[in-house]
Structure 1
């Protein structure tokens, strides 16, 4: 049986292949699609830049979207400098930056170091600190030399557990299993995990609340309630988008609502579901 999500993603990737660039000695991939105000979409551990294909397709006529894919070296502090170098290379003075999960931690770091380069911070399904995370699997494993099969199997067990609880999201699980199973290359996967395990403390934010937005989901299995609360407390966003369901990947599980959210944040005409106008918005 055809997996509709994988088929859609593969069509998108064939139409928009990843470009490669050396940034401070690190080999990055990236997509540069569309025209208009600039929005960076930075993925988490289990995604290349094209993991946001549904939002890119919906918004490319109104926004210029840059979606990077992490290199096999470096970490959060180095990647912050690389993203700024990418902006310089692409002649982008300022941009709105959405980061999901690992990408959300990186986006917060950029907001602290280079607030003058950021129009908006959108911190999605992410964390506020990495202290103690090295005690939790898979971060407690030997990420440099441990068998890659064990790391991938750990992700597989978690994803299969999500499938059992949410059989309607089976296509999403298969897509993510493809990512962790090899579409994200072994050294890149190890580095993504190590970037969180060894993540630096976040610098003070440097942005006013009216430029800050958060996204979380009540059923996110990776970001517990106390961490969601801590992210909002740290960032004091002008708007907190709260998914009642959507898991850790609402941009795939509920793409129409995610696109509508981005339309609202970016000041575009909203074509999808109405999130409302409150400081905390629920769908």
Structure 2
């Protein structure tokens, strides 16, 4: 990635576009809304990220699309959150929106588009999974996510990210950003809710969106979504296009921002501008 201060970049964006608070069905969501015209896009982060984790895509597309990015509340689960997001989309007048979710957000996005097809016009399931079967046997989900001390939960994430801090690690610039999220930028209640939501997630209903409006995004070096999970997602969704990064980690919207923006331009039907999705081996049809 080179030497970038991602925290400073993100913080400059956050100062210009702070989260507003929206209480839906008694749950307190953080929301960033930008753009006044063009196709609608909803962005849902994973466990380690707030709405502004997509700052590079939001900044690049804000003049051409209507964007709603969210941060999770401190209560509720997948079904609750899908209902809340449906209300947020309707209230924003963004019917027909394309919904992109990454990791945990990708599971939620699949549930949302399957249960609210009248509101959703496209699905981008990114760096995510199609089934949570067996996840309760894997750390940290195997832990009691309600009573385990929060410092122990945070320590597990920190241990995993410690390797990324090595000087020669390709994603060393990303580690401080994610560690800041782990160490309190995501408050305790929100972090517990995110973990518990995936651990207790319902099975996904069958998708009712048309085949040509379903897309996946995956990374060959995603250490969290291993190859069988990637294959399972493509088999479950049969996407019209599967975008594939050879090297991008679990967080390609941060590590490969231009290419990520380019795939969103393609999906939203926007002009390519200066960014074009890489041709050849990184693009699966």
TM-score between both structures, scaled by the size of structure 1:
0.95
Q: What is the aligned length? A: 280
2:277: which partner in 1? Answer: 274
Cα separation, 2, equivalents of 1:37 and 1:277: 27
1:139: which partner in 2? Answer: 141
2:123: which partner in 1? Answer: 121
CA contact (8 A) 1:33 1:60 kept: yes
1:168 is displaced (CA, Å) by 3.5
Query: Compared with structure 1, are the counterparts of its residues 189 and 15 closer, same or farther at alpha carbon in structure 2 (3 Å cutoff)?
Result: same
CA RMSD after TM alignment = 1.6
Which residue, 68, 71, 85 being the options, matches 1:69?
Answer: 71
CA contact (8 A) 1:108 1:202 kept: yes
Which residue, 76, 85, 88 being the options, matches 2:87?
Answer: 85
1:262: which partner in 2? Answer: 264
1:103 is displaced (CA, Å) by 0.4
2:61: which partner in 1? Answer: 59
1:21: which partner in 2? Answer: 22
- Unmatched tracts of structure 1, length 5 or more: none
Which residue, 237, 240, 252 being the options, matches 2:239?
Answer: 237
List structure 1 runs of 4+ shifted beyond 3 angstroms.
162-166, 273-278
Residues 104-143 of structure 1, C-alpha deviations (whole Å, 9 max, x = no match): 0000001110112111100000011111101000101111
2:220: which partner in 1? Answer: 218
Cα separation, 2, equivalents of 1:127 and 1:263: 24
1:166 is displaced (CA, Å) by 5.8
- Unmatched tracts of structure 2, length 5 or more: none
Cα separation, 1, equivalents of 2:82 and 2:13: 27
Higher alpha-carbon deviation: 91-100 or 184-193 = 91-100
Q: Does 1:31 align with 2:37?
A: no
Cα separation, 2, equivalents of 1:204 and 1:220: 25
1:276 is displaced (CA, Å) by 3.8
TM-score between both structures, scaled by the size of structure 2:
0.95
CA contact (8 A) 1:261 1:275 kept: no
1:209 is displaced (CA, Å) by 1.1
Cα separation, 1, equivalents of 2:94 and 2:20: 17
Cα separation, 2, equivalents of 1:274 and 1:22: 37
